[in-house]
Chain A
Amino acid sequence: MYHKSKGYKIFSFFNYIFLILIALSCFLPMLHLLAQSLSSKSAINGNLVSFWPVDFNMDAYAKTFRNTNFTGSMQISVFRTVLGTLISMFVITTAGYALSKDFRGRNVLMWIFIFTMLFSGGLIPSYILVTKLGFKDTIWSLVLPGAFGAYNLILIMNFFKTIPKALEEAAFIDGASFFVIFRKIYLPLSLPGLATVGLFIMVGHWNAWFDGILYMSSTENYPLASFLQTVVVQGSAQSMALSQSEAAALSEQSIKAAQIFISTLPIILVYPFLQKYFVKGIVLGAVKE
């Protein structure tokens, strides 16, 4: 109806082209990485690899999975992500449920939580605290300091508030306590909300690298993202531990690409679910009635 003019058609054409190019630019670097990881050393060194593997081979992946530093870090990351997400979700949903109700002192509690969004002790005091608590070189240094997030609390609280009050009142009349109502009504009914926040927290844990570098004194205890940081950014050669013959056959870049790609795979796999929920989650977090 309204977009029939010639000028609009020209605009529309270029708009499609422009946005498709932008969208491709967001995805092609990952494809380039995948192609590099599957290509031979000579092809990479000759700059022949763009988005399609040249001299297809899986050697870089075979090598990566034989690297005990890599697989060990991966296990730590998986463990950290599962444990960290469970702890965070427990802490946030319990408080989120309580704070979605009206009770005395609620606002004071709310401000205690919100204040953590506005002001923090900073890097060094946090580092010293974690060290003093004896969490250094343990998994607790990775899962406990960030367990609570005020932003996530607000999201969860808003999800809980959308559940009709009448359900709760009916349950009260049937003699249910707050705990039963929380477990049997609120948690199951806000599954999409929990999934959104849960996925955010999971991605956060999987991608976190700085705390690993900060709190782990030996690279053997690094989670995958921290391990990758040393390989990819600091480029430390000994963590690759290539033998002479392997170094001759395998491109360093190919192995880096394989490692980055493997570490990103879980994100890409949960991405369809993330994408489904997070738009709603973000909008709920930003737009309020």
Chain B
Amino acid sequence: MQPLKTDIRKKGKDPWSKELKKSWPLYVLCIPALVCVLIFAYGPMVGLVMAFQDYKPWLGISGSAWIGWDNFARIFQYKEATQAITNTLIIAVIKIVVGIVVPIIMAILLSEIRNMGVKKSIQTLVYLPHFLSWVTVAGIMIDLLGLDGGINHVLTSVFGIQPVYFLGDPVLFRPTVIISDLWKNFGFGMIVYLAVITGIDPSYYEAAEIDGASRWQQIRHVTLPSMLPMIIVIATLSLGNILDAGFEQIFNLYNPLVYSTGDIIDTYVYRSSLLNGQYGFGTAVGLFKSGISFVLIVISYRIAYKAANYKIF
């Protein structure tokens, strides 16, 4: 205990009264954000106790009966719930892998474009879909992928294939979801990698050139190693998203035909609780997801910090 005390004195920390007199405006400036967070972020956390209740809206949290872990046990009894968890994992993992690999490849390819005008134009266009809402993208896709939509029009008239119902076929639904997510977000994911490539010291390339390295060898031995720390950071941090398969997208694209492969935890929570009134159960599923995500995020931040010296702030 003793060393701790001298530590504080060494740093010259003022007592609270003195600090308040000096820095009170800083505390005041934090109040609006603090109030927001306490109400809208920490407030709902209190409501998590519903996960342990047979919650009835007319009885409220104080009046509803406590049922312990029953709601959680039900997660593993309901086929629909386990199915949603499996779907979430599969869709999210593929999305994460594809969503890291493709932007890296695209960033490298784009960095090989020497014409600045072309490069800038391509960049501007590929970032655009990220800023469209999923409602807009879903509108486009429902039209494009419908039975008489543009894609099927091409498939039938050019290739003579029977029309395919992309959004109503359990087998095709996942690939459709993954590709459309990629289409919307790869440009945005590319930004950081491009910034890293732009920041590489050109003398590395010159040295490799003199040593007789081909362009491909230069990419392998200069570009990729320079990108590695950033790739590690992004890959480890995305570990925390392993239970996030994209509510907005799935909600706008799915339908009962594809529940078997497309229903994810978030859409299942929405349907089972807000639509069917099982508030306690829905909260339990949500808490199950948040809990696992929390552990994964903490682990991934640890790894990112150890492996690449990444700090949140």
Contact = CB atoms under 8 A, between A and B. Distances in A.
A98 B29 contact: yes
B59 interface: no
Interface in B31-49: 32-34, 36-37, 39-48
Contact of B26 (A36, A101, A128): A101
B263 to A, nearest CB: 15
Interface stretch (A18-26, A58-66, A68-76, A163-171): A18-26
Nearest to B286: A122
Contacts of A173: none
Q: Size class of B's contact patch?
A: 35 or more
Interface of B: 13-14, 16, 19, 23, 25-27, 29-30, 32-34, 36-37, 39-48, 50, 57, 106, 109-110, 112-114, 118, 121-122, 124-129, 131-136, 138-140, 142-144, 148, 150, 153, 183, 187-188, 191-192, 195-196, 205-206, 209, 214-215, 218, 230, 233-234, 247-248, 251-252, 266, 269-270, 273-274, 279, 282-283, 286-287, 289-290, 293-294, 297-298, 310-313
Report whether over half of chain A's contact residues are helix, strand or loop; otherwise say mixed.
helix
A110 B234 CA distance: 22
Most buried by A among B126, B247, B311: B126
Interface in A201-258: 203, 206-210, 214, 225, 228-229, 232-233, 253, 256-257
A124 B125 contact: no
Contacts of A67: none
A121 B313 contact: no
Interface stretch (A78-86, A146-154, A188-196): A146-154
Contacts of A3: 114, 215
Nearest to B141: A29
Interface of A: 1-3, 5, 7-8, 11-12, 15-16, 18-20, 22-27, 29-30, 32-33, 36, 47, 50, 90-92, 94-95, 97-99, 101, 103-105, 109-110, 112-114, 116-129, 133, 144-148, 153-154, 157, 177-179, 182, 203, 206-210, 214, 225, 228-229, 232-233, 253, 256-257, 260, 263-264, 267, 271, 274-275, 278-279, 282-283, 286-288
Nearest to A182: B29
A260 B192 contact: no
Contacts of B33: 91-92, 94-95, 113, 148, 153
Contact of B290 (A97, A120, A145, A153): A120
A287 B230 contact: yes
Contacts of A12: 112
A28 to B, nearest CB: 10
25 contacts: A2-B206, A2-B209, A8-B214, A24-B125, A29-B140, A30-B128, A47-B150, A103-B27, A110-B313, A114-B313, A118-B297, A121-B46, A122-B48, A123-B274, A126-B40, A126-B44, A127-B274, A128-B47, A128-B279, A129-B47, A154-B312, A207-B131, A209-B134, A232-B135, A232-B142
A44 to B, nearest CB: 10
Contacts of A101: 23, 26
Contacts of B30: 94-95, 98-99, 109
Contacts of A286: 192, 230, 233-234
B44 A287 contact: no
Nearest to A286: B192
B273 A26 contact: no
B292 to A, nearest CB: 11
B47 A119 contact: no
A75 B156 CA distance: 43
